[in-house]
Structure 1
Amino acid sequence: MSNINQDNSIRDESTLEKGLNEDEFNHSLASPLPDTKEPHSLQNSIAVNDKPASKTKLIISKFLITIGLVLGIFVGSMSETAVSTITEVIGSDLKSYGSLTWIAGGYLLTTVASTPLFGKLSDIFGRKPIEFFSIALFAIAGIGGGGIMSMSFVMVSDVIPLENRSTYLSIISATFAIAQILGPIIGGALAEVSWRINFYIQLPLCLILLLLVVFVLDLPKSEGNILSKVKRVDFLGSLTLVLTIVSFILATNWGGKDYAWNSAPIIVLFVLMAVFFIAFIIIEWKISPEPVLPSRVFVRNVVLSLTASFCAGAVQFVAIFYLPVYFQFVHGATPSESGYRLIPFLAIISICCLSSGTLIKIFKTIRGVMWVGGAINIVGTCLVAFWRQNATLAEQVIFILLNGIGLGLIFQLVIFTCTLSVAPEDVAIASGLFTFSMNIGGVVSLAIAGSIYNNVLSNQILEKLPEYVPKDLLDPQIAGTLSEANKELLKTCYHYAFQYAYICVIPFAIILFISVLGLTKLEIPGTKIQASGH
């Protein structure tokens, strides 16, 4: 570990004193710290000379590549939030109201499973083929989203010169933020015509991405034959990881609703989850020659940063998917209206992420900003979980804003801490682990929240509307035939279901705060700012 400390000190000093000026350092805090290696810059990816025509070609190529990277992030991240406002519409159309948690967790599950694998595949087979495959796959199924997102960040380090990289990363971070905000709005608006348009609209965007990859992006091909490359892929590790997550989601989704918690199917699923997880750990740390999650990066600050990322994702995704459902069922909002009501939460997260660099320059501490963010997040999460059914819109907005401010102050600073705490050659892995842990936190919390939501809703309906079968009242058409008094009782049932589902993320908010408290500090060479380090 002492060697890593020494390497980090050298890297920090050279990066901050030589590679970044004051403004760029501020940008780097809002984006993953780029790898110091520069294998293939944009200038090398395009054959140019000193002629004006070639310089014009370089400018055009820079623009097109930037569009490609930005579009990839936009498509992938918008898909995550667009579905949040259309779950009720999908459930109504497909007559499958009890499976709404799968709509929320299904996309995240495939993203979680594919993100580390696509990153490793790109190291083995090359960036361009894997990016092409990810886009083509995403046009058919959501699993390609993990590849598009991860490859967009990885290729910044491949094609953008070091002196310009922080600017491009800031552009991509801003794109991610904008897509997160626009997703629920676009999703809700299109759902009022047809929810399927949300998925059809991605096809032309994927086609544009494919054309840019084929005709603009020029990266060196990987060496070696196909067989040698296939042997390097960690198929067993990826498979056991997916099986672990699927077993957990099935158990929490079926438990208490389709099967009793102590029934054989649920017990077997939990046992399988434990077995697959142990197998995954053994494969990654003892068997696989090129694991998707190498053990050497799991030093103290990385573990704490990933724990914080996991918990932040758990809080964020429950808010993104269950707040619109609450607004629609309890307050009668349309899908587009519920999307508008989610804007304060997503917008304040984006604003705080982008301004976190300025805050640490003002207060001269990274950990202090994260501590404040963690505390605010606990307060905001509790306020949302316990708000009254008749809370005013102003009260709801204030509580949601507090919840978002806490998350926004932590997100980018945690990833900066994570990448600062590893050796230079592991920066890309650390960045990928951050995204991976955040998404898997969302998968876990959505599974838990979904199980609680379904069980509480059924019990509340049986208690307050005993003359009805709970499953029948999940159909909006049947619910619409209720008397006004019974409609109000049904809204109360949905309110309590949401409340208990949101209460389940309070422990995640507390663990998030404890995680950032445990980060050790290190004064970044060349600055007076204290960062987290060993």
Structure 2
Amino acid sequence: MEAIPNEQPRQIKRPLVLASIMLAMFLAAIEATIVSTAMPSIAADLGGFSMYSWVFSAYLLTNAGTVLIFGKLSDLYGRKPIFLIGITVFMLGSVGCGVAGTMEMLIGARFIQGIGAGALMPIATTIVGDIYTKEERAKIQGYLSSVWGISAVSGPALGGFFVDVLSWHYVFFMNIPLGLLAMAGVILFFHENIEKKKPAIDFLGSIWLILFVSSLLYILVEGGVGIPWGSPEMYMLLGMSALGFILFLHQERRAEEPMMPFSIWKHRSISIANLTSLTTGMILIGVSSYLPAFVQGVMERSATVAGFTLTTMSIGWPIAATLAGRLILTIGFRTTSILGGVSLIIGGMIFFMLSPDRGPIWAGTGSFFIGVGMGLSSTSFIVSIQTTVGWKLRGIATASNMFMRSIGSALGAALLGGILNNRINGLIKEEGLSDHISVDTANQLMDAHQRMLLSEDVRRLLQDALTVGLHHVYAGLLILAVLSFFLITMLPKGEKV
């Protein structure tokens, strides 16, 4: 076992540390299934269906913008303090989400929540890489992925219960007791003794990155809907995005401690894993964000049924991740990842053929294959990356993979949301009803009572528009799945733990 700087006379209680960080990861895992299930009801309550994707994009934007900084801070100051800061900020954001009275307030609180999540997932995974040996990591990473299974059983069920019986606000309030318990476990059982370095944090790089990504997200979401493509505002956003990207690249080359050290990308296993995480992140958000809207708005099923279609993905993920922990030791990272790529393509094909008459069972089957693909590939990527680099780079290397998946999810939410909004808006204009209804009228499809208040013609038009728009979204998912498989085949051959 390699020397680990956080070893000291007080023995680390590894099982208790593992349980604590799994609970912290549960916060982020259950957030995906509960919020996605509750979003149609939130949109019906708060309004603003055209801002639907921003509830996801806001969270993912700040997550992506801070994950590399937190990874670097954990390499400088240790995993424990940064991890605790992340949980605290995440809980503050959760409180803000729970008390939000408008869609704008909810999006603002999601920004804060995303900052905390930027520390939670990567540092939890890095702690496991620190306290377990190379041989143990594959199995333990599978355990971490089982968190998605636990959230699969409880998340959609709780989300449906809160929406149908109590209130969607509890979706966010339930994070508080879980967060406090996770903090207590990390404080009591995880001890580290790290040699602190003089800080040289690349905050400027993070600023340029956020400028680039936020401008791009705004273009993808509002382009052709809120902002005409040929308008001065659009050209200004394009210029800001390009400027942010150029300045980010320049800053990373000159920074003493870059938030994204380009040296780690020289390792082929890291560069390919990160690029694939970008595309799979887009797939993941495409399924989790818009499937409940289709099930509730078009199939006219309850929030609980919508939650079921996401539950199957969250069940497939941990099963495959646990299996991946064993496969990696026998057939290697590449072959295990290829199996995951095949499963993603199968899931993409099922969603491409999804229609209202096929029902939620068909949708749930597609979700399951997407989950299996994510479980096999993501577990392989993390173990491969942590085996490639030493302790001093493990935090930022792990964070870089999480960063690419977050960027993929943020871009996916915005791009796919933009496609959906444009198709709905286009069909409304074609029918000559743009003076009477808008994209935001689709809010009423998400609530059974409000749906009955719509005229038959308007309801059918909106449902057809939502169906057509989501068909374009799922065509995009299939293309992304094929691209992910192609990237996976480029991983180095013969690499094992």
1:384 Cα deviation after fit:
0.6
Aligned to 1:259, what secondary structure does the other structure show?
coil
Change (3 A) 1:182 1:261: farther
The match for 1:89 is 41
Aligned to 1:140, what secondary structure does the other structure show?
helix
Q: Does residue 413 of structure 2 align to residue 446 of structure 1?
A: yes
Cα deviation code 1:151-188 (max 9, x no counterpart): 22233345557786665444323224433553333223
1:205 to 160, 171, 178: 178
Q: Does residue 490 of structure 2 align to residue 518 of structure 1?
A: yes
The match for 2:143 is 171
Counterpart CA distance in 2 for 1:402 and 1:216 is 37
* Structure 2 unmatched runs, 5+: 94-112
Counterpart CA distance in 2 for 1:393 and 1:182 is 19
Change (3 A) 1:72 1:405: closer
Q: Does residue 167 of structure 2 align to residue 194 of structure 1?
A: yes
Contact 2:74-2:395 within 8 A present in 1 as well: no
Counterpart CA distance in 1 for 2:334 and 2:134 is 27
Write the mapping of 1:191-340 to structure 2, written as runs, cut at 5 A: 191-192=163-164, 193-220=166-193, 222-223=195-196, 228-229=198-199, 232-285=200-253, 287-299=254-266, 300-340=268-308
The match for 2:4 is 38
**Scaled by the length of structure 2, what TM-score is found?**
0.86
1:127 Cα deviation after fit:
3.0
Change (3 A) 1:402 1:523: closer
1:412 to 375, 379, 395: 379
Cα deviation code 1:41-96 (max 9, x no counterpart): 3x6335xxxxxxxxxxx8xx555433322211111222233211111222222222
CA RMSD of aligned residues (A): 2.7
The match for 2:50 is 98
1:406 Cα deviation after fit:
3.4
Letter in 2 for 1:508: L
Q: Does residue 476 of structure 2 align to residue 504 of structure 1?
A: yes
Aligned to 2:494, what secondary structure does the other structure show?
strand
The match for 1:23 is none
Aligned residues: 470
Change (3 A) 1:184 1:242: farther
| Further displaced range: 320-329 or 408-417 | 408-417
1:461 to 428, 435, 448: 428
Write the mapping of 1:460-479 to structure 2, written as runs, cut at 5 A: 460-464=427-431, 466=433, 468-471=436-439, 473-476=441-444, 479=451
Change (3 A) 1:301 1:220: closer
Letter in 1 for 2:286: V
Counterpart CA distance in 1 for 2:131 and 2:373 is 34
Contact 1:373-1:407 within 8 A present in 2 as well: yes
| Further displaced range: 264-273 or 202-211 | 202-211
1:146 Cα deviation after fit:
1.7
Contact 2:272-2:490 within 8 A present in 1 as well: yes
Contact 1:465-1:489 within 8 A present in 2 as well: no
Contact 1:320-1:342 within 8 A present in 2 as well: yes
Counterpart CA distance in 1 for 2:218 and 2:5 is 43
Change (3 A) 1:69 1:415: closer
Aligned to 2:298, what secondary structure does the other structure show?
helix
Change (3 A) 1:402 1:223: closer
Letter in 2 for 1:491: Q
Change (3 A) 1:207 1:359: closer
The match for 1:120 is 72
The match for 2:96 is none
Counterpart CA distance in 2 for 1:348 and 1:428 is 27
1:128 Cα deviation after fit:
3.0
2:366 to 399, 419, 428: 399
Contact 2:294-2:467 within 8 A present in 1 as well: yes
Q: Does residue 102 of structure 2 align to residue 136 of structure 1?
A: no
Cα deviation code 1:102-147 (max 9, x no counterpart): 1121112222122111121122333333222222211112121221
Contact 1:309-1:437 within 8 A present in 2 as well: yes
The match for 2:124 is 152
